[in-house]
Structure 1
């Protein structure tokens, strides 16, 4: 083997590792998602365990949603949403019995979705002509009617609902109770948002312009 052949063989041996590194960098986001999915499937309890953990995280975050304030006191709005501290069992007592956790979660999300459309009607005084709950909440966030924290919680609740609706697994009862408990607090916050909408309208506060 002469020097040219030796150099060619070295370059050839380095080509595939280099290509692998380059491809790994180019598709790093897809690789990360795939690894996360593999980690979830291999974890004790699989998808169910991951779902339970995600519900617990959202349940912890919901306590820190800022109180929806009217324009008159917006700058001083630092309090958290007022609600009576209750256990998940108190809020989700109807889960005792033949109702499956999946059914409870799907029914609970429908209550959130219905209230989002109610907020749209309260603000615009018309039925939504197009779009989904997702476009409504993002629009309310742009108009500063929804705080960033509330938007994130609602999006997370919708994402968790979709996991249950489109995956072949049954959440455990504790996860369902946490979901329902969190939804109750979200609904209380949405009720506060509606009060702000009505109050601002009475005070003659200008509404945002539709884009």
Structure 2
């Protein structure tokens, strides 16, 4: 290969990257102007997905006999709604944390979790409660859906949910927490081995 052939090959290899850089430089102002709109579009898309998932979760809650419209513990709801006014995503994370805490407390109260060195959380916690028949499969699905929604917000860095969506999530989470607390207390209308129905 001669020097001339080498430079011709080099020029043809570098032609498309050089053209791409020139186009980006020429259009950078227009790209920077449109970037916020693209970000807002993505945020609206995430909010729409989140709202749809909450709607599906509401159907699941009603099908299991948990009353979405029942009066949840107002102090817990009020506290979480105050957090949601500052950060909807933080309120969702805190609401889910409370559900996990209630699930762990139920396991401890029933003597199912003796090893204090290991902390069950998320799917492992729900599977353990399902295995011990303190929740049924439909309740497991609700808890797992709450986990998935929380993970989308926390791990995907999506802070773009509305206060209203956070309120609805909070309501579902508080209802789930109260079902665990009710099972732990053995209230008369609660069957001991089916905490959420």
TM-score bin, normalised by smaller chain = 0.5 to 0.7
Unaligned runs of 5+ in 1: 1-41, 66-79, 206-211
More displaced stretch, 100-109 vs 130-139: 130-139
Match of 1:48 in 2: 47
Deviations 1:56-96 (A, max 9, x none): 2112321232xxxxxxxxxxxxxx34786349x99744535
Q: Which runs of 4+ in 1 moved over 6 A?
A: none
| Structure 1 position 132, deviation (Å) | 2.4
2:176 paired residue among 165, 186, 195: 186
Aligned to 1:167: 156
Which residue number corresponds to residue 158 of structure 1? 147
Structure 1 residues 101 and 82, CA gap change in structure 2 (3 angstroms)? closer
User: What is the CA deviation profile of residues 94-146 of structure 1, one whole-angstrom value per residue up to 9, with x for unaligned ones?
Assistant: 53584210111011111011111111211226354436222232122122211
TM-score for the superposition, normalised by structure 2? 0.61
Alignment partners' CA distance in 2, 1:164 and 1:83: 22
Instruction: Assess if the C-alpha contact under 8 Å between 1:62 and 1:185 holds in 2.
Output: no
Query: 2 CA distance for matches of 1:81 and 1:168?
Result: 30
Q: Hey, what's the Cα distance between the residues in 2 that align with 1:46 and 1:84?
A: 27
**Alpha-carbon contact 2:61-2:142 (below 8 Å) kept:** yes
Q: Is contact 2:68-2:175 (8 Å) kept?
A: yes
Change (3 A) 1:53 1:90: farther
Give the TM-score normalised by the residue count of structure 1.
0.57
Question: Where does residue 126 of structure 1 map in the other structure?
Answer: 114
**After superposition, where does 1:15-30 map in structure 2 within 5 Å?**
none
Q: For residues 152 and 129 of structure 1, what CA distance do their matches in structure 2 show? A: 27
